[in-house]
Amino acid sequence: MINNKTFLNPFTDFGFKKLFGEEGSRELLIDFLNQLLPIEHQIDTLVFVNPEVPSDLKDERTAIFDIHCKSISGERFIVEMQKAKMEYFKDRALYYTTFPIKEQAKKGKWDFKLQPVYFIAILDFQFVSDNSVNKSVKTDVMLKDQNGDVFYDKLHFCFVQIPFFDKKDSQLETQFDKWLFFLKNLENFDHIPVVLNEPIFKKGFEIARLANLNIKELRDYNENVKKYLDMMNIFETAKKDGIEKG
């Protein structure tokens, strides 16, 4: 086990997909997504879709999502874990939604009716600028007109900024609070805290328990953690250098 940890780091590629992107963890993904989705789009069942979506054109870029799934009623969900800030993240989010939109096109006669598409990003960094007034943990975005009225209600973006979540276990009020507390602190737990001692989270802890990984999974996870730590060190060094130069 890495650094005597009991549970995996959910902000690594391996950890995130282990928790939410496998058949055995589908129940966790459904419960988590239902904390983010509006009441009219609550889901009972999800089907995982191939996360690699090839382009229609030979020279066009292929999209590779962390998690790509859809509900029985047809809503599409792209779920991404982003570990470090990138300059054109909004552009990337918008670009990714074009793939589940285009895949709904039907040959022949078609009335252009589309199912809702959700882009959901769990961010291990502050998405907004340091001087922004909005420091919300969860930011929902839809297309609206100049009067603030919804222009189109089938394209949704949801950004969850983990660094803005600072509640302690005694302050947790909702299931959403519990999920963020679980994700933010999972790697540092050595046992299941009382506030998370319920079936959905107990299952999450069992999936995340490093002792339950096989040899190949543990090797892959170790590599993931090394890359994660290297990337975070580079990011922090660049940030520090920028502050010093400023």
Query: What pLDDT sits at residue 40?
Result: 83
Dihedral sign, Cα of residue 221, residue 6, residue 127, residue 48: positive
Least confidently predicted of 23-27, 48-52, 98-102: 48-52
pLDDT for 189-198, tens place per residue? 999 999 999 9
Can you tell me the distance from the alpha carbon of 117 to that of 100, in angstroms, rounded to the nearest whole number? 7
pLDDT at 51: 84
> Mean pLDDT: which of 49-58, 59-68, 99-108, 175-184 is highest?
175-184
Q: Strands, E, within the chain: which ranges?
A: 46-48, 52-53, 63-64, 67-71, 76-82, 117-123, 138-144, 150-161
Highest mean pLDDT (candidates 4-8, 28-32, 80-84) = 28-32
Q: Tell me what the mean pLDDT of segment 27-36 comes to.
A: 96
* Rounded mean pLDDT, 140-165: 94
- Average pLDDT estimate for 42-70: 79
Mean pLDDT for all residues in the chain: 88
Cβ contacts of 102 within 8 Å, gap of 6 or more: 56
- 60 in Cβ contact with 101 (< 8 Å): no
pTM to 2 decimal places: 0.86
pLDDT of residue 236: 65
* CA distances, 145 to each of 97, 148, 149 (Å): 20, 5, 6
Q: Which of 32, 27, 21, 116 is nearest to 74 (CA)?
A: 116
Rounded CA separation 5/239 (Å): 28
Q: Average pLDDT, stretch 171-177?
A: 97
